[in-house]
Amino acid sequence: MPNLLWLQGGACSGNTMSFLNAEEPSACDLVTDFGINILWHPSLGMELGDNLKRLLQSCVSGETPLDIFVFEGSVVNAPNGTGEWNRFAGHPMKDWVAALSKVATFVVALGDCATWGGIPATAPNPTDSQGLQFLKRAHGGFLGADFKAKSGLPVINIPGCPCHPDWVTQILVGVATGNAGAITLDEFQRPSTFFTSFTQTGCTRNMHFAYKVSATEFGQRKGCLFYDLGCRGPMTHSPCNRILWNRQSSKTRAGMPCLGCTEPEFPFFELEPGTVFKTQTVMGVPKDLPAGVNQAGYIKLTGAAKAAAPQWAEEDIFVP
């Protein structure tokens, strides 16, 4: 029975809340169907105070084998590298992270804060926060670029703000059942099975994207959200329109632009007013173009597409 320990650093608990809503498999299934022994979790763990401290020390010493170490939230280093702003069970959380990572067979970072530093690491980053093995796009982070868990794998990054619950449980099942060899990672150590395609894959607005028909307001059922409302779906690696949230929908299906929350640079534009839900352009051409498209190609493609747009592309096709 593999042991799993889940700790939380500088975070909002969003990934914990997401995890508890997992369906395929559910958080309960991890225990009952796949035999994962959850030693401690911020919302499920029972041990507190000295009992919790003894549990953590038992993992660090090797008395209690630690198969999977899951970390949610950024690693807080302030003030002055002490990490005293984020204490847990008698010690700075960063000290527990360093010690537990050394003895864990697998280390899994959940959410943008744990993977890239996320919102806490956005300038001016007063908490001096980092992700476990990245700070935004820079490889290294708290554990260093050369870190490998006992399995030989680096930190397995599952980004998102929050990450989809089924991404979490499916990867944990793969690790716990001995199928970790089937988990291939991309250059940012994200599982390729989830992060090879783009958010745009499966988007119900792809026909509007093709004909350059733009949505002008949030919640509209017609029109692409990329041209005016800042949607980053064509540049963001995620399966949000393939593995739907709550098995029902996604941001773009609900008429809201993708914010690119699985990419290392999130949050983009440092959350400045007027920049988040607006496509940044230069002479009418978006500053950030879909992956693999250059400026000249974009101008030719969109000009031809707009001229060829059929009337039905301008209509709300969901009206009965």
Instruction: Give the three-state DSSP class for 100.
Output: helix
Residue 282's CATH number: 4.10.480.10
Longest Cα–Cα distance in the chain: 70
Establish if 83 belongs to a structural domain.
yes
Same domain, yes or no: 66 and 188: yes
User: Does residue 137 fall inside a structural domain?
Assistant: yes
219 vs 144: which has the higher pLDDT: 144
> Which residues make Cβ contacts (< 8 Å) with residue 222, sequence separation at least 6?
208, 213, 215, 313, 314, 315, 316, 317
Whether residue 320 lies inside any domain: the answer is no
How many whole angstroms separate alpha carbon 200 and alpha carbon 195? 12
Between 113 and 271, residue with greater pLDDT:
113
Torsion of CA 77, 80, 86, 88, to 10 degrees: 100
**Are residues 174 and 206 located together in one domain of the fold?**
no
Is residue 183 domain-resident?
A: yes
Model pLDDT, residue 1: 84
Tens-place pLDDT, residues 73-128: 999 999 999 999 999 999 999 999 999 999 999 999 999 999 999 999 998 999 99
The answer to whether residues 41 and 116 belong to one domain is yes
**pLDDT at residue 274 tops 80:** no
Mean pLDDT computed over 157-161: 97
Pair 228, 217 in one domain: yes
**Does residue 277 belong to any structural domain of this protein?**
yes
Q: Are 31 and 170 within one domain?
A: yes
Averaged pLDDT, 147-155: 96
Are residues 190 and 207 located together in one domain of the fold?
no
Residues 12-23 have a mean pLDDT of 94
Are 174 and 202 in the same domain?
no
Grade residue 315 by pLDDT with cuts at 50, 70 and 90: confident
Do residues 111 and 170 both lie within one domain?
A: yes
Q: Residue 121: what pLDDT?
A: 95
Q: Are residues 46 and 136 in the same domain?
A: yes
pLDDT score at 46: 83
Q: What range does the domain containing 278 cover?
A: 198-314
Query: Is residue 319 assigned to a domain?
Result: no
Instruction: Note whether 174 and 264 are same-domain residues.
Output: no
Q: Which residue has the higher pLDDT, 316 or 2?
A: 2
Point out the least confidently predicted range of 20-24, 227-231, 259-263, 304-308: 304-308
Do 293 and 231 fall into the same domain? yes
Where a domain ends, among 180, 195, 210? Answer: 195
> Could you tell me what percent of the chain has a pLDDT over 90?
71
DSSP designation for 289: P
Domain endpoint, select from 150, 168, 195: 195
Q: Kindly report the backbone phi and psi dihedral angles of residue 139, in degrees, each rounded to the nearest multiple of 5, phi listed first.
A: -75, 135
Render 126-170 in DSSP notation, one character per residue.
Answer: TT-EE-SSEETTEE-TTT-TT---TTS---EEE--TT--HHHHHH
Residues 149 and 278 in one domain: no
Q: Evaluate if residue 319 carries a pLDDT over 70.
A: no
**Confidence grade of residue 320 (pLDDT, cut at 50, 70, 90):** low
Q: How far apart are CA 152 and CA 257, in angstroms?
A: 38
Cβ(152)–Cβ(175) below 8 Å: no
Cα dihedral 128, 131, 136, 138 sign: positive
CA 281 to chain CA centroid, Å, is: 27
- Report the pLDDT value the prediction gives residue 270, as an integer from 0 to 100: 57
Is residue 311 pLDDT above 80, yes or no? Answer: no
How high is the pLDDT of residue 242?
A: 94
Residue 224: alpha-carbon gap to chain centroid? 24
For the CA atoms of 282, 286, 292, 298, the dihedral, rounded to the nearest 10 degrees, stands at -80
> How many domains would you assign to the chain?
2
User: What's the pLDDT score for residue 243?
Assistant: 94
Domain boundary among 177, 195, 213: 195
CATH no. for residue 119? 3.40.50.700
Confidence of residue 7 (pLDDT cuts 50, 70, 90): very high
pLDDT average, residue stretch 192-198: 94
pLDDT, tens only, 31-49: 889 999 999 999 988 888 8
